[in-house]
Copies of this chain bind each other. A is one copy, B any other.
Amino acid sequence: MLVKLDTLKQTALTVLAHSGYPSDEAQTILDVLLYAQLRGNNQGIVKLIGAGMPRHPETQPIRIVRETKLSALLDGGRGAGMVAMRRAVDLAIEKARAHDVGIVGTNNTASSTGAIGYYAGIAAQAGLIAFAFSGSGEYVAMHGSYEPLFGTNPLAIAVPTTGESPIVFDMATSAIARFGIIEAQTAGRRIPPDVAVDGSGQPTTDPTAALAGAIRTFGGYKGAALAFMVEAFTHALVETTPTPEGKKTDWGNLVIAINPALLTDAETFKARVTALVVRAKATKKLLGVDEIMVPGERGNALLARVLAAGEVEIDDNLWAALSQKANASY
């Protein structure tokens, strides 16, 4: 159904307040969720329904536990991954502005950072080249395996352009995002074949069986290798705390921001990225292709239409679940 943007925001903020978030944290989380929701990315308000993402009752303020001119490691204090990651990217930008490189990791959160293009995009809007990596629990199997080991381990890369929107590329290294499966479950849909196995290692299109089994990595062994590296960056490097058996008890994240002026004139870099976009879009199209789309373009176009209309199409079941949660008394 079509939902007014203001209604969507108010409803989501109500659920976030019920979930225990103070208003500044709720606003950050809303920004991240809407970044995804309004671009047709499956990391949106689906995160608020069902168990949702309640604030941990013992959340502590975010703390810098290690710092150099170029880097910092943040203890997320059991708070929301989105709040810690937003702080991480702001700090990485600050360091990159002062010293050309900012590398900030977070640990001790256990909720998703959402669409990580959001964070990389903020750094690119500040004129920086940005990488973002997010870890999570055991959901995805290594290539050749059916035992969950990796998180969905998304990565984002963003570069600035001369226009308002940077080029932001954001992908899960899994064949499907975990919230893509939860979204299918909520909407009563099957998931595509070949993206998940059930608990005995058999391929499945049933989202419930997939959640009890393992998600596969995308693109065969290449995707698995990328997932491995994201795992190393978001757990080993940022000092998450595993059990003695190596199971995860918290999740980590990493942001790398680099000033392009280290290698070239920053404005020239933006102009050349923009020229590459123009060139890519002008190349000869395969039969049946209407338009060549650069990374993030489809989502930006959808966002522009939503903002112009002031309302957005949301799955009926999803909207019903969110509204019910907002209207429940606490």
A283 within 8 Å of B (CB atoms) = yes
Tell me whether A263 and B105 are in contact (CB under 8 A).
Answer: yes
A30 within 8 Å of B (CB atoms) = no
Q: How far is the CB of A261 from chain B (nearest CB, A)?
A: 9
Tell me whether B229 and A157 are in contact (CB under 8 A).
Answer: yes
Q: How far is the CB of A129 from chain B (nearest CB, A)?
A: 7
Q: How far is the CB of A254 from chain B (nearest CB, A)?
A: 8
Tell me whether B286 and A146 are in contact (CB under 8 A).
Answer: yes
Q: How far is the CB of A164 from chain B (nearest CB, A)?
A: 18
Given the complex of chains A and B, what is the CA–CA distance between A218 and B223 in angstroms? 10
Given the complex of chains A and B, what is the CA–CA distance between A289 and B141 in angstroms? 13
Tell me whether A273 and B236 are in contact (CB under 8 A).
Answer: yes
Given the complex of chains A and B, what is the CA–CA distance between A279 and B146 in angstroms? 13
Stretch in A35-43, A53-61, A66-74, A183-191 with 4+ CB within 8 Å of B: A66-74
Tell me whether B292 and A145 are in contact (CB under 8 A).
Answer: yes
Once A103-B101, A273-B232 are accepted as A-B contacts, the answer to whether A285 and B71 lie under 8 Å apart by CB is: no
* A contact face: mostly helix, strand, loop, or mixed: mixed
Tell me whether A246 and B289 are in contact (CB under 8 A).
Answer: no
Once A144-B285, A275-B246, A284-B145 are accepted as A-B contacts, the answer to whether A264 and B73 lie under 8 Å apart by CB is: yes
B201, B238, B279: which contacts A284 (Cβ < 8 A)?
A: B201
A287 within 8 Å of B (CB atoms) = yes
Tell me whether B129 and A70 are in contact (CB under 8 A).
Answer: no
Interfacial chain B residues near A239, Cβ < 8 Å: 263-264, 268
B169, B263, B287: which contacts A228 (Cβ < 8 A)?
A: B169
Q: Chain A, 253-277, contact with B by CB distance < 8 Å: what is the 0/1 string? A: 0101010101110001100110110
Q: How far is the CB of A289 from chain B (nearest CB, A)?
A: 4
B68, B147, B238: which contacts A283 (Cβ < 8 A)?
A: B147
Given the complex of chains A and B, what is the CA–CA distance between A122 and B105 in angstroms? 25
Tell me whether A262 and B222 are in contact (CB under 8 A).
Answer: no
Within 8 A of B (CB), among A223-254: 223-226, 228-229, 231-233, 235-239, 246, 254
Chain A residues in the interface with B (C-beta under 8 A):
66, 68, 70-71, 73, 99-101, 103, 105, 129, 141-147, 149, 157, 159, 167, 169, 171, 197, 201, 218-219, 221-226, 228-229, 231-233, 235-239, 246, 254, 256, 258, 260, 262-264, 268-269, 272-273, 275-276, 279-280, 283-287, 289, 291-295
A143-B293, A159-B236, A171-B222 known; 5 new pairs, CB 8 Å cut-off, are: A70-B262, A145-B285, A149-B280, A201-B284, A236-B275
Question: Can you list 8 A-B pairs, Cβ within 8 angstroms, ordered by A?
Answer: A71-B263, A73-B264, A103-B262, A145-B280, A149-B283, A159-B229, A225-B295, A228-B280
Task: Give the 7 A-B residue pairs with the shortest CB-CB distance, closest first.
Answer: A219-B219, A236-B272, A71-B262, A147-B283, A225-B295, A147-B284, A169-B225
